Structure 1
Amino acid sequence: MKKLILTLAVSSISGQVLASDNVTFTPEQEAKIGEIAAQYLVDHPEFLIKASQKLQQKQLEEQANAQKAAVLANKNILLNDKETPFIGPKTAKVNVIEFFDYQCIYCYRISSTIESLQKQYPNVRFIFKETPIFGSRWEPSKYAAQVGLEAFAQKGSSGYEHYHNGIYSTGLNEGKLTKEVVEAQAKQAGVDLSQFKPTENYQRNLQLFSQLGFKGTPALIVMPTDGATTSNTYVINGADVAALTNAIRTLSK
């Protein structure tokens, strides 16, 4: 297209169609070529739109590849951190890792889907990275994460599942979740709060969240336990139910 524009521009200036690419233009010709090229793009903005779309797609692909590379570099901490709550078999061949905040409305909206997928794919391990990104805005965000880690430490996967799903069942998020509600759900899950000593272990998840290039929650990763590569590792930014379901289905075949 650039060659066509230049040819047309020079033809309009010289009255000739040029057969050779080895052409030297005078300053006046270059100025005229610029004017014609600029006007052509004004008259045909679809070329600019197409170029912009290609650039955006390239940037998204580069971002996705960078995130996947970061995921693979941090595979061990993603899959094998003993303090991180999980639901499903330890020996699972497929893993779903979710970075989430109980105060996040989008995490709430996808929570029922994740709960359903756990039942649909009992051989998949679901790993929950407590990541209270709203902690500086809403204190219960951090408290819910701390209690979640305590629920797993005391009661294992079953107790954590009870607590985790219980918090979401309240429908409280975006600043509405309270310390009292968190404690009530913990007690229903069998957590002994008298033994609870709040820590900031969730800080490791916040750091990892940042290292992986995530900007918001939910942030999801679907990857195999063995033989993970950029081609069979899925990074999902946001509550994209279709992408999550497709990734699990693909790796579970």
Structure 2
Amino acid sequence: MLTVKRTALAVMMISALLSGMANAAEKATPVFTPEQEARIGEVAKDWLIAHPDVLVVVSQKLQAQQQEEQQRSMTAAAIQNQAALLNDKGTPSYGPTDAKVTVVGFFDYQCIYCARLAPELEKIIKANPKTRFVFKEFPIFGQRWPASLSAAKTGLQVWQQKGADAYLKYHNALYATGHNEGKLTAGDISTAAKAVGLSAKTAPDVQETLDGINTLAQQLGFSGTPALVVMPATGASADNVTVIPGFTSAAALQVAIDKAAVNGEK
């Protein structure tokens, strides 16, 4: 299936190139007769069919160019939305408020890749005590699995009612259940919330915060989870901001933190 998609992309790219050549030819003095042009087209088509590896190479190059453009676009959007990423008081955070570097993560408790990222992130948090970590509850599976949305709301309530340490404990406890992709239960959420002392009777309304996170994710071009942004508190630029739209390792995340630290200590 992937090969077919790449071939289709390559055909589109080659078609666009041939179209551009045709338009240019219309403006210039004709070099070939219509019959000759038709024959050249047939020969080129037959050659490409006989050498499909060329289509794969072209499609790979096109895909790489698209990814690079997407990365530049997301990085620019992150810099433009730095205040929303770093300064939303309704969003949970852990670490010093005056940190030189911040790691912002968008995640869903039902996302299997978020679950795989959780232990990697735990390693990074322990290894970087001077770095601040911001947790954007982004329950993209809320309509499919109600526990996704419920867990996100409860997490925000824990943050607002009990603070950073309680939130991180709740956050890690849900991933420690190993219940993702629709397996998280109301019992799992209740157990984790009770363990950190959340009072359901006085839990605040957090819908506005969730709506704001969803809007921010759209502005950044994030359609899935996990998604990470690593940036310095000041002097953010394309050279020191890293956007990671997907799973990553602790080692890769550390590289991003080190890059952002050019403006100060980690």
TM-score by length of 2: 0.81
For the 8 Å contact 1:187–1:193, the answer to whether it is kept is no
Q: CA deviation at 1:121?
A: 0.9
Q: 1:170 offset after TM fit, Å?
A: 1.6
- Between stretches 234-243 and 148-157, larger displacement belongs to 234-243
Contact kept, 8 Å, 1:84 with 1:129, in 2: the verdict is yes
1:212 aligns with 2:227: no
Paired with 1:23 and 1:197, the residues of 2 have a C-alpha distance of 73
Deviations, residues 56-80 of structure 1 (Å, cap 9, x unaligned): 1111111111111111111101000
Which of 247, 258, 262 lines up with 1:239 in the alignment? 247
1:78 to 85, 94, 106: 85
Following superposition, the deviation at residue 48 of structure 1 comes to 2.3
Once residues 175 and 38 of structure 1 are traced to their aligned partners in structure 2, the CA distance between those partners, rounded to angstroms, is 48
- Measure, in 1, the Cα distance between the counterparts of 2:37 and 2:101: 60
Structure 1: stretches of 5+ with no match in the other structure: 3-21
Q: Determine what percentage of the aligned residue pairs are the same residue.
A: 48
Matched, 1:87 2:94: yes
Aligned residue number for residue 121 of structure 1: 128
What secondary structure is seen at the aligned counterpart in 1 of 2:140?
coil
The size of the alignment, in residue pairs, is 234
Which residues in structure 2 correspond to 1:132-151 (within 5 Å)?
132-151=139-158
The answer on whether the counterparts of 2:241 and 2:260 sit within 8 Å (CA) in structure 1 is no
Could you say which structure has the larger radius of gyration?
1
Asked if 1:179 is matched to 2:207, the reply is no
Shift of 1:81: 0.5
Alignment partners' CA distance in 2, 1:29 and 1:149: 69
1:1-253 mapped onto 2 (5 Å cutoff): 24-200=31-207, 201-241=209-249, 242-252=251-261
Query: Alpha-carbon deviation of 1:191?
Result: 1.9
8 Å contact kept, 2:160–2:204: no
What is the TM-score normalised by the length of structure 1? 0.85
Which deviations, in whole Å up to 9, do the C-alpha atoms of 1:121-160 show, x marking residues without a partner? Answer: 1111110001111111122211111111111112211111
Distance in 1, matches of 2:112 and 2:44, equals 48
1:42 and 1:172, CA in 2 relative to 1: closer, same or farther beyond 3 A? closer
Over the aligned positions, Cα root-mean-square deviation in angstroms equals 2.0
1:40 Cα deviation from its structure 2 partner? 2.8
Task: Tell me: CA distance 1:25–1:234, structure 2 relative to 1, closer, same or farther (3 Å).
Answer: same
Q: Greater shift after overlay, 232-241 or 192-201?
A: 192-201
Give me the whole-angstrom Cα distance separating, in 2, the residues matched to 1:36 and 1:105.
48
CA deviation profile, 1:73-114 (whole Å, cap 9, x unmatched): 111010001111011111111111110111111111110110
Kept in 1: contact 2:78–2:220 (CA 8 A): yes
| Structure 1 residue 33 displacement after superposition | 2.1
